[in-house]
Chains A and B, each alone.
Chain A
Amino acid sequence: RKEVEQDPGPFNVPEGATVAFNCTYSNSASQSFFWYRQDCRKEPKLLMSVYSSGNEDGRFTAQLNRASQYISLLIRDSKLSDSATYLCVVSSGGGADGLTFGKGTHLIIQP
């Protein structure tokens, strides 16, 4: 089983719709979770951290399910500018660099 798994998509979604995607992780000792956004030919940028209680930032909501070992990202009222690849990142906390990236989910918002 891959350490961090994401559906690569692409998800084609009409503008204004709600879209959600998940990321599963295999290491039950994982401690920190993040969603990064990467625009075409640009660097990844932190979108939001994912807390155990779930968190919301405007139109974006992130959830963590430790029992089933997945995190989710929900985008409401999607905008054209939300088109990007969303990278799931999981940290085991061990050593300097227990950060593991998923391959990313490609989202295309259509007018």
Chain B
Amino acid sequence: ETGVTQTPRHLVMGMTNKKSLKCEQHLGHNAMYWYKQSAKKPLELMFVYNFKEQTENNSVPSRFSPECPNSSHLFLHLHTLQPEDSALYLCASRMKPGQGLAGANVLTFGAGSRLTVL
């Protein structure tokens, strides 16, 4: 266990379904992220939350909706997805950069949620 827990690990959904991915971290980090990993592509940053405030949205379609109720929990709500959205969705956390802490830039990833959209 890395200290970042993602559920569910696997999800199959139809294009009309609504589902949510959950991420929880127990590392005391104050920044959380959603990444998308597709085959043969680099990790794509989707959303960033610092101190539970969204600070970045990398032009992600509105069918993906993040929610960060506190600095330990992060959700990704999914609605009317497309088959090309099938991918591994990785949650990560770290300490906010710039605080002079060793390892502040180091990301810790969860095991990922593998999503298949039919």
Contact = CB atoms under 8 A, between A and B. Distances in A.
Interface residues of B, number: 25
Contact of A104 (B42, B103, B107, B114): B42
B111 A42 contact: yes
Contacts of B50: 96
SS class, residues of chain A in contact with chain B: strand
A3 B28 CA distance: 31
Contact of A43 (B41, B103, B106, B111): B111
B105 A44 contact: no
A93 B109 contact: no
Interface residues of A, number: 24
B43 A44 contact: yes
Contacts of B45: 97, 99
B75 interface: no
Interface in B19-38: 31, 33
Q: Which of B108, B109, B114 has the most CB of A within 10 A?
A: B109
A8 B33 CA distance: 25
Contacts of B55: 95-97
Contacts of A46: 106-108
B116 to A, nearest CB: 13
B109 to A, nearest CB: 4
A29 B40 CA distance: 27
A34 interface: yes
A101 B44 CA distance: 8
Contact of B42 (A43, A45, A49, A102): A102
B79 to A, nearest CB: 25
Interface of A: 4, 8, 32, 34, 41-46, 49, 87, 89, 91, 93, 95-97, 99-104
10 contacts: A32-B105, A43-B112, A44-B109, A46-B107, A95-B55, A96-B31, A99-B107, A101-B42, A101-B43, A102-B42
